[in-house]
Structure 1
Amino acid sequence: MFGKSFKLFTLFGFEIKVDLSWIVIAVLIAWTFANGLFPATVEGLTTATYWWMGVAAATGLFLSIIFHELWHSLIARRYGLQMKGITLFIFGGVSEMTEEPKSARVEFWMALAGPLSSVILAGVFYGAYGLARGAILPEPRAVTEVFRNLGYLNLLLAGFNILPAFPLDGGRVLRAAIWAANKNMLSATRIASLVGSAFGVLLIGGGILLALFLGNPIAGIWYALIGWFLWTAARSSYQQVLVRKGLEGITVAKLMEAKPVTVPRALSVERLVDDYIYKHTFKMYPVVDGDRLAGCVTLQKVKDVPRTEWGVTTVGAIAAGCAPDNTISPSADAMEALAQMSRGRVSRLMVVDGDRLVGIITLKDMLEFLSVKLELQDHK
């Protein structure tokens, strides 16, 4: 879902991160307020004041989304769920879960916490708007208009999120209700994701209608983009649930290849290329000394050696220490291995027990296991 993101700060133990796409949308929001909405609703102010108002509104929305997602995370922690943090991206924010809720009741309260928090925050901003109207301020119209719009935006945030379109909060409430009724979490997720996909298709259709036939191309594009996001998010969220359920309780040791391709330290680079790289086409090989992991050798390391020296240079001479991101314990959860591969953008991890190499786990093997397991579950 995300591109490149960076950490801003930690709040109540949760990492708050921002995807680069959010920076783009924040600038666009500030520009829209400063050049369109505020000049139309509050006339006669300076350009600098309108920009101050726009930046204040964008910042307030940024903090409002964090507040919304923070309550999801706090309720999740209250029920014993592990949360990685909160990431803001182009369409809002998301609380990153490492596991699914354990019951429909937990799912319900987690999902409802977000919209409720936005309604409360809307009340706070509207209250501040009322107080500011009677206060003596340098530019009262500017301050009150920012508060009023932030109140409205939080109501809009609550209203949009409560739509029964999974994975929005309302869609998760729907999943909780179906889950409570049929006692089947996967079935409930499938139904909720279908509803979410349908909402996405409707928004895309509405966007096309607005753009082509009702003379509002900008609104039409936004409707279509949000619809596309909902459609893809609903499908990918269901797939993530399938993966989590499929790998639940499975350790790395169960899925790893116990006799992986390894390279001895004394092997020449020439033999490495001829007997290993051309044969297996991997970009990284574990280097062993007996059964001890002595390091890693990569395709780039080989390319750094002049071809005339391949015959006299040993693998041990060019091997480097293996990065922690490339190793995992045999007792680790398979889901953890999958997440580690995703973070490092690799398809293979070395399985180590202390300093011993005990196996290799690959994305291909994990996906094949999932495919077979899901096929057997469907057969039941």
Structure 2
Amino acid sequence: MRATFVLGRIAGVRVGVHWSVLFIFGIIAFGLSQGRLPETYPGRAWTVYWAAGLCTAVVFFASLLAHELGHAVVARRNGVEVDDIVLWLLGGAARLRSEASSPGAELRIAGVGPLISLLLGGLFAFDAWLLELASGPGVVVEMVAWLAGINVLLAVFNALPAAPLDGGRLLRAFLWWRTGDRLRATTGATAAGRVFGWLLVVLGLIAFMRTGMFGGLWLALIGWFLITTATAEGRQAHLREALADVPVRNVMTPEPLAVSADTTVAGFLTDARYRYRHSAFPVTEDGAPVGLVTLDSARKVPQAEAHAVAVREVMVPLSQTTVVGPDGPLADLLPRMEPGAEHRVLVVEDGRLVGIVSLSDVSRTVTWLMNTAPGQRGGP
């Protein structure tokens, strides 16, 4: 899940928002302003209800962000780098570059999220109680009470022992500690996630057929998300196991053809060297990599301007490109790879470009591994 736009960095972690957040944001604001708040405290102006609903939705997403920031901060303290945090339709996700090194680290990283949500729920409940004692505005009391309830619900739901929920990671930490086998632990957690997901799908469809309420379909949607995500996690775990001993240099295309940052877009597009071989090329300046340019991004430049625009102006800068060393494990690179020419991985050693990796390179290696006996594996 990639962010539609980036909010900035908090505690050194890039925070983004997917466009689907607007959908759930609207549902929360509308549901509160047109349902719960006027039903509980009637007689206020419609602007009061809408202002309260919008403010509550904002604070709710801030609570989600705090939950994910907890994961990110604890992950970094346990030696796991964090790519970013993305808020989206069904909550939030902190994207980690690698896995925890031990069951204890997995336990700490997974457990902090529900703990933060539970603490926030308790804090909001305490605030609601204080406001009630002080005879505060009823609408405000209801806003804070709703935030207390939703955070406690978020903590309880995330603590359920089913991947990809935080509880699934807690289950995996326990199974990993008990068996000493991370792959076996992941298989158990993902199986629990699929069972729980199907349970939600069935319950959601039954509730919808009996009541016709949208909430049943929403429950089924969450269940389907759990099934697909848990299945993907299981496949990813087996893939990581297969690639555990494969270094990046065995997969990369060595000494890739690069384009100078000062080359004009017109020169880049008309040069026969770049026309047929690939869809993306590393960009270098004085021999050092500075970014990645795709043919698609270059072709978007109007022909009338292509002779005056340099490749550096249309490239993906190095800061937004995945860069790895040639001796790093390919398994740690997998979570950071995505489809699309603009997501190619640059392989750099001592400041010098030595290779490039695409998803097709990884797929080719996986196919080779799956069709080769372990004793015959010397390199793809």
Number of residue pairs the alignment of both structures matches: 359
In structure 2, the partner of 1:118 is 117
3-state SS in 1 of match to 2:175:
helix
Counterparts of 1:239 and 1:5 in 2: how far apart (Å)? 29
3-state SS in 1 of match to 2:15:
strand
**Once the two structures are superposed, what CA deviation does each residue of 1:242-285 show, in whole Å capped at 9, x if it has no partner?**
4444444644322223376789x9xx999966x9856x5x3356
**Once the two structures are superposed, what CA deviation does each residue of 1:291-323 show, in whole Å capped at 9, x if it has no partner?**
999x999756699999xxxxxxxxxx9994676
Q: 1:135 to 1:346 in 2, by over 3 A?
A: same
Q: 1:48 to 1:341 in 2, by over 3 A?
A: same
CA drift at 1:228: 1.4
In structure 2, the partner of 1:366 is 362
Q: 1:351 to 1:161 in 2, by over 3 A?
A: closer
In structure 1, the partner of 2:96 is 97
Corresponding letter in the other structure for 1:216:
G
Counterparts of 1:120 and 1:68 in 2: how far apart (Å)? 10
CA drift at 1:236: 2.0
In structure 1, the partner of 2:185 is 188
In structure 1, the partner of 2:45 is 46
2:124–2:147: 8 Å Cα contact kept in structure 1? Answer: yes
* 5+ long unaligned stretches in structure 2: 376-380
Counterparts of 2:7 and 2:268 in 1: how far apart (Å)? 41
Q: 1:298 to 1:176 in 2, by over 3 A?
A: closer
Equivalent of 1:197 in 194, 198, 201: 194
1:296–1:319: 8 Å Cα contact kept in structure 2? Answer: no
Counterparts of 1:254 and 1:331 in 2: how far apart (Å)? 9
Counterparts of 1:189 and 1:69 in 2: how far apart (Å)? 21
Equivalent of 2:212 in 205, 213, 216: 216
Counterparts of 1:46 and 1:318 in 2: how far apart (Å)? 55
Counterparts of 1:375 and 1:86 in 2: how far apart (Å)? 37
Corresponding letter in the other structure for 1:342:
E
1:20–1:89: 8 Å Cα contact kept in structure 2? Answer: yes
Counterparts of 2:344 and 2:94 in 1: how far apart (Å)? 27
**Once the two structures are superposed, what CA deviation does each residue of 1:114-134 show, in whole Å capped at 9, x if it has no partner?**
112211111111110111112
3-state SS in 1 of match to 2:84:
strand
For residues 186-335 of structure 1, what are the structure 2 equivalents within 5 Å?
186-211=183-208, 213-248=209-244, 250-258=246-254, 277=275, 280=277, 282-284=278-280, 320=311, 324=318, 325=321, 330=326, 334=330
3-state SS in 1 of match to 2:14:
strand
In structure 2, the partner of 1:312 is none
TM-score (norm 1): 0.78
Counterparts of 2:351 and 2:81 in 1: how far apart (Å)? 29
In structure 2, the partner of 1:170 is 167
2:201–2:224: 8 Å Cα contact kept in structure 1? Answer: yes
How much identity, in percent, do the aligned residues show?
Answer: 33
Equivalent of 1:149 in 126, 146, 150: 146
Tell me if 1:29 matches 2:25.
Answer: no
TM-score (norm 2): 0.78
CA drift at 1:150: 0.8
Corresponding letter in the other structure for 2:192:
V
**Once the two structures are superposed, what CA deviation does each residue of 1:339-380 show, in whole Å capped at 9, x if it has no partner?**
66528644755656679764443322222223444666999x
Counterparts of 2:326 and 2:43 in 1: how far apart (Å)? 68
In structure 2, the partner of 1:313 is none
3-state SS in 1 of match to 2:69:
helix
In structure 1, the partner of 2:378 is none
In structure 1, the partner of 2:176 is 179
